[in-house]
Amino acid sequence: MAVEAAPRGLRVTPRKLAKYPPLVLICIGFLGLVLFAAAFADLVAPKPYTAQDLLNRLKPPSFLGGPAQYLFGTDELGRDVLSRLLYGIRVSVLVAILGTVIGAVVGTFLGFVAAHVRGIVEETIMMMVDVQAAVPFLIIALAVLAFFGNSLTLFIIIMGINGWENYARLTRGMVLSASTHGYAVAVRSLGAKPLRIYGRHILPNIASALIVQFTLNFPSTILLETSLSFLGLGIQPPLTSLGQMLGAGRNHLILAWWIAVVPGVTIFLTTLSISIVGDWLRDRLDPTLRGR
Amino acid sequence: MNLRFVCIKLLRALVTALIVLTFVFVVLRLSGDPIESLVGDEAPPDVIEYYRAKYGLDRPIHEQYVLYFQGIARGDMGISFKDQRDALEVVLERVPNTLQLGLVSFAFSLLFGIPLGILAALNRNTALDRFTMGFAVFGYSIPNFFLGIILILGFAMWLRVLPSSGSGSLLHMIMPVITLGTAGAGSLARFARSSMLEVLNKSYMRAATAKGVPRLRRIAWHALPNAAIPIVTIIGFRLGDLIAGSVVTETVFAWPGVGRLLVTSVGSRDLAVVQAILTLVAFTMVIANLLVDFIYGWVDPRIRVSSTLEKD
Amino acid sequence: MSAGAQSPPLLEVRDLVRHFRIGARALFRRPETVRAVDGVTFRLDAGETLGLVGESGCGKSTTGRLVLGIDRPTSGEIRFDGRSVDRLPIKDWRRMRCDMQMVFQDPYGALDPRISAARQIREPLDIHGIGTPEERSAQVDDMLDAVRLPRPLRDRYPHELSGGQQQRVVIARALVLRPKLLVCDEPVSALDVSVQAQVVNLLAALQRQFGMAYLFISHDLKIVRHICRRVAVMYLGEIVETADRKELFDRPAHPYTQSLISAIPVPDPAVSRTRILLKGDPPSPIRMPSGCRFHTRCPFAEAICAEQKPALREVGPRHHAACHFAERWMS
């Protein structure tokens, strides 16, 4: 069992793994799989996702009696569900990551600005936070899509706006409380400039709370995209996303339920895994945070 | 709850509503000829002229802004070009359906979620606790459209015990309510549990035990009221999720409510209806948040006091 | 006046005032003013140790922050090394940090929980770009020795250190720039009593070693007696008495000082003490008593005390007090 080559800290020993709850490990494993699928969809997919096989339309998955080459069956145009699933994962995951990162960066930045500049700027930013929190974002997103039409850029911007207010509110609160007490005052009295105080001292100390917020926000962004795509107002064909597959599959529920169920289960397991990992992370990083 | 508290909250609510409505105004103006958006290009020319004059599109923008708000106050938000009827009327017709679904789902969330959470808290770290919390995580993680489809598959198509769409009877409501209410039940359960746990750990609970207060009374009199305070705020948050959830749920089950109307209107670019729905939702949310703030202020004496001791 | 007073003082504070307005941003409420510091004047020479004593809320901590320029005065003048502190542009203020530093009441709160002790001590050198990296490391080691912190502890995180050790890190960090003035704001109040003595002794030793001036802020007279050559007593935002240490303890000229001194426990049960007990609670710093601010609690107050405010006047060699009857107490 001795693995001499790797340095002590990096060895993945059974003892080390045992420190993590098995459920969390399974979820991390699943998420790893999802990321792999997103990254390598075109290498792994058995068929191109637009390839139609009209003789084999609406065939069930191979493990339920369908043709052997279609693991998850085919849809109404004979396209391989597995391949479409992989490409759909790629689109959904990419859009969600992009959106969440944009939201996190913009939100955190605005939170810092609000806490640092104070005054009317802070009031304005917090007012925007209130407004964003007041109306359900799905409605706003639908309205914007209605008024401006649906372009991919606009869609990603909308994903980015989802949830920024949580980061802003969180960051501002933490920076304010850090600024009035403790080490922030101490380092300032040492003569440090604000950038150094924020970047080297405050940010690392609030990072864990931000990471937790990220794990709360990411599933919500995925769900936003999939909901909009499901309603036909999100990712448009020929691009495919998980929500879109579900939406399209809805019309064939009786004859070919797998078209909808396969992407649906994938979405569900993904958000579930992120929630579980997020909970565990929150418990680990700060046991004083209350579970929401 | 003092006057100052009430006034501040009212002011904030007003400003929020103002900003949302301004947002709608700006977006409407930015996205092309607003008259065409509001009335549709198939409307007869005299109707177009009438609206052009009424909204004063040749007037400077700040006058348009004022006219816009006057229109809202009157309840005039344009014409649904699909039906050629007043947009607000079209929307208000559907409201009872949505209210019906929403209220029942909300009750479902409360009745299932909170007792489950409290039960879990009282039986902490037992199998019951783990099971109920697992259920709760399941509940709020599953995308509502997926849950709806699974339910339709199961109960409507395979078992054939429930109708798959439409409204009209109690049977029609079962699946939509479960779909819309499950996420809420799940998150309420989790929150109720953690809130209850926090309260149970407080020293006044141990003091009550030391005094010899029987368990049931301890829970009902001491624990529950204090645990209720944060739960009340969460209930306020739930409303927004409920509205968003009803958009999808109504679409899945073809329930004739405002949510489904929103989706179809967006699809057909019936912008007057979209604007009317947005306005309605904005008002509803603002008023609901205000009510939650007031209830919160009334229920939790600490909030009343601390808000009057604002720091320099 | 002694010969040393001829040279310009290191720190000169004149008519320092700091008022806080509370409730100013609230609707329907008239803002009220807290007179935290209400006309404080003193001077500190290089290498001198001045204690600033008073009960909680008397304004001593605020004075400390104002002296360093961390807070802005409402009015008054603060001159350090001949330069004005309160009207300094921010860049110059930052550079001035090399000359004046602070030791805080809560040592754990003053340290970044994610940075090791050695790196915290190094931080001021990094900020001001002093020396090469090797030189900075050497400086850090020197400071660790100076504050009697064993070398193995240098890589520990704050939560892995005891309260006393944490405070030593704070002190080391403050001194690594070799400041001319060290403001200590209740540096031992948060520590266990057994550790207090160690840290106080350390501060005294460091003062002798590095020769910097101290402004030592505390509510505890017995600690101040140990470390400070001169003492100033504050009450409700004003200085009510200043004197050299021996003079103050032998012949206190203000009733408040007397009550503080009488409260110091004497480790000899045979010695009887008459404790001077003050009546009532300290008044709110919003609504000040008329005349002498202390008259509401003074056991010796007379009619004139409520009408006329006593000025801080000279009552002995290097001894000032603000009481109408100072001479009475001193005999």
Mean pLDDT computed over A103-127: 90
Q: Is the pTM higher than 0.90?
A: no
pLDDT digits (tens, 9 = 90+) for B126-154: 888 888 888 888 888 889 999 999 998 88
Most confident of A58-67, B89-98, B192-201: B89-98
pLDDT of A206 strictly over 50: yes
Is B211 buried (19+), middle (13-18) or exposed (0-12) by CB count in 10 A? exposed
What is the pLDDT at residue B301? 62
Instruction: Assign C176 a pLDDT band (cuts: 50, 70, 90).
Output: very high
Q: Cβ of B30 under 8 Å from any chain C Cβ?
A: no
- Which chain A residue lies closest to C127 (C-alpha atoms)? A192
Contact C127 A183 (CB under 8 A): no
Q: Cβ of C101 under 8 Å from any chain A Cβ?
A: yes
What is the pLDDT at residue B55? 60
What is the pLDDT at residue A110? 94
What is the pLDDT at residue B67? 77
SS3 C219: coil
Taking a C-beta distance cutoff of 8 angstroms, is the pair C98, C128 a contact?
A: yes
pLDDT digits (tens, 9 = 90+) for C130-140: 889 999 999 99
Residue of higher predicted confidence among A42 and B176: B176
Q: What percent of chain B has pLDDT over 70?
A: 88
What is the pLDDT at residue B208? 78
pLDDT of C143 strictly over 60: yes
What is the pLDDT at residue B311? 34
What is the pLDDT at residue C27? 55
pLDDT of B28 strictly over 80: no
What is the pLDDT at residue A4? 42
Token pair 């600005």 is found at: A113
- Compute CA distances A160 → A214, A221, A275, B28, whole Å: 12, 8, 20, 22
Residue of higher predicted confidence among A48 and A137: A137
Instruction: Assign B35 a pLDDT band (cuts: 50, 70, 90).
Output: low
Q: For domain C11-99+179-253, give the CATH superfamily.
A: P-loop containing nucleotide triphosphate hydrolases (3.40.50.300)
What's the residue count for chain B?
A: 312
DSSP-assigned letter for residue A10: G
What percent of the residues of chain A are helix, what percent strand, and what percent coil, each to the nearest 5? 75, 0, 25
Mean pLDDT computed over C60-78: 90
- Which chain C residue lies closest to B310 (C-alpha atoms)? C23
Q: Which of B23, B149, B191 sits opposite A260 (nearest CB)?
A: B149
Q: Where are the alpha helices (DSSP H) in B123-223?
A: 127-141, 144-151, 170-200, 203-211, 215-217
| CA-based nearest residue to C72, from C15, C14, C33, C18 | C18
What is the pLDDT at residue C49? 94
Mean pLDDT computed over A25-31: 90
Rounded distance between C-alpha atoms, residue C211 and residue C197, angstroms: 20
- Compute CA distances B54 → B57, B81, B157, whole Å: 8, 17, 52
Q: Cβ of A185 under 8 Å from any chain C Cβ?
A: yes
Please state which of the ranges A263-267, B5-9, B281-285 shows the lowest mean pLDDT: B5-9
Contact C112 A201 (CB under 8 A): yes
What is the pLDDT at residue B163? 78
Contact C27 B312 (CB under 8 A): no
Q: Which of C102, C112, C114 sits opposite A189 (nearest CB)?
A: C102
| CA-based nearest residue to B237, from B300, B179, B174, B190 | B190
Element (H, E) at A53: none
Give the distance from CA C125 to its chain's centroid.
Answer: 25
Rounded distance between C-alpha atoms, residue B168 and residue B170, angstroms: 7
Q: Cα angle at B45 between B43 and B47, to 5 degrees? A: 65
What is the pLDDT at residue B309? 38
Structure tokens at C177: 């720039």
Pairing state between β C213-218 and C49-53: parallel
Q: State the angle between helix axes of B258-267 and A137-148 in degrees (0 to 180), rounded to the nearest 10.
A: 30
Taking a C-beta distance cutoff of 8 angstroms, is the pair B148, B252 a contact?
A: yes
Q: Cβ of C311 under 8 Å from any chain B Cβ?
A: no
pLDDT digits (tens, 9 = 90+) for C90-125: 888 998 989 999 999 999 889 988 889 999 999 999
Whether residue C179 has a cis bond before it, omega within 30° of 0: no
Q: Cβ of B306 under 8 Å from any chain C Cβ?
A: no
Rounded distance between C-alpha atoms, residue B238 and residue B109, angstroms: 10
What is the pLDDT at residue C325? 86
SS3 A70: coil
Q: State the angle between helix axes of B3-30 and B271-299 in degrees (0 to 180), rounded to the nearest 10.
A: 160
Most confident of A197-206, B6-15, C173-182, C277-286: C173-182
pLDDT of B45 strictly over 70: yes
Q: Which of B31, B240, B274 sits opposite A136 (nearest CB)?
A: B240
Rounded distance between C-alpha atoms, residue A170 and residue A203, angstroms: 12
What is the pLDDT at residue A1? 40
Q: Cβ of C97 under 8 Å from any chain A Cβ?
A: yes
- Mutate which: C66, C94, C119, vs A, most A CBs within 10 A: C94
The secondary structure of C124-185 as a DSSP string is HHHHHT-S-HHHHHHHHHHHHHHTT--GGGGG--GGGS-HHHHHHHHHHHHHTT--SEEEEE
Closest chain B C-alpha to C78 CA, distance in angstroms: 24
Q: Cβ of B305 under 8 Å from any chain C Cβ?
A: no
R_g of chain B computed on alpha carbons: 24
Instruction: Assign C193 a pLDDT band (cuts: 50, 70, 90).
Output: confident
What is the pLDDT at residue B64? 75
| CA-based nearest residue to C39, from C65, C14, C70 | C14
Q: Is the dihedral of CA B113, B117, B120, B122 positive or negative?
A: negative
Burial C250-263 (b: 16+ CB within 10 A, else e): ebbbbbbbbbbbee
Chain B CB contacts of C22 below 8 Å: 311-312
Phi-psi region of A58 (alpha: psi -120 to 50; beta: other; left: phi over 0): left
Contact C70 A188 (CB under 8 A): yes
pLDDT of A138 strictly over 80: yes
Q: Cβ of B62 under 8 Å from any chain C Cβ?
A: no
Query: Residue A200 pairs with which residues in a beta bridge?
Result: none
pLDDT of B286 strictly over 70: yes
What is the pLDDT at residue C330? 74
What is the pLDDT at residue B305? 45
- Which chain B residue lies closest to C33 (C-alpha atoms)? B312
Contact B286 A290 (CB under 8 A): no
Mean pLDDT computed over C305-309: 87
Farthest CA pair distance, chain B:
81
Instruction: Assign C25 a pLDDT band (cuts: 50, 70, 90).
Output: low
Taking a C-beta distance cutoff of 8 angstroms, is the pair B211, B222 a contact?
A: no
Q: Cα angle at C71 between C65 and C77, to 5 degrees? A: 85
- Residue C33 phi/psi, 5° resolution? -110, 130
pLDDT of C88 strictly over 70: yes
Mean pLDDT computed over B26-49: 70
| CA-based nearest residue to A33, from A227, A225, A280, A273 | A273
Mean pLDDT computed over B5-14: 83
Instruction: Assign B57 a pLDDT band (cuts: 50, 70, 90).
Output: low
Chain B CB contacts of A250 below 8 Å: 149, 252
Instruction: Assign A2 a pLDDT band (cuts: 50, 70, 90).
Output: very low
| Average predicted confidence (pLDDT) for chain C | 87
Contact A250 B138 (CB under 8 A): no
| Average predicted confidence (pLDDT) for chain B | 80
| CA-based nearest residue to B105, from B182, B172, B12, B166 | B182
Most confident of A142-156, B11-25, C147-161: C147-161
Q: Cβ of C119 under 8 Å from any chain A Cβ?
A: no
pLDDT of C168 strictly over 80: yes
Chain C CB contacts of A204 below 8 Å: 114
Mean pLDDT computed over C32-43: 88
Q: What percent of chain C has pLDDT over 90?
A: 47
Contact B312 C29 (CB under 8 A): no
pLDDT of C28 strictly over 70: no
Q: Which of B3, B8, B312 sits opposite C21 (nearest CB)?
A: B312
Q: Cβ of B4 under 8 Å from any chain C Cβ?
A: yes
pLDDT of B303 strictly over 60: no
Contact A219 B141 (CB under 8 A): yes
Mean pLDDT computed over C146-169: 91
For chain C, the distance separating the N- and C-terminal CA atoms, rounded to the nearest angstrom, is 22
What's the residue count for chain A?
A: 292
Q: What percent of chain C has pLDDT over 70?
A: 95
Rounded distance between C-alpha atoms, residue B302 and residue B309, angstroms: 11
What is the pLDDT at residue C53? 93
Mean pLDDT computed over B162-175: 80
| Average predicted confidence (pLDDT) for chain A | 83
What is the pLDDT at residue C70? 86
Q: Which of B4, B308, B312 sits opposite C24 (nearest CB)?
A: B312
SS3 B79: strand
Query: Residue B37 pairs with which residues in a beta bridge?
Result: none
What's the residue count for chain C?
A: 331
- Compute CA distances C273 → A105, B129, C264, C268, whole Å: 65, 63, 10, 10
How are strands ordered across the β-sheet holding C313-316?
A: C100-103, C181-185, C213-218, C49-53, C230-235, C238-244, C319-321, C313-316
Contact B27 A147 (CB under 8 A): yes
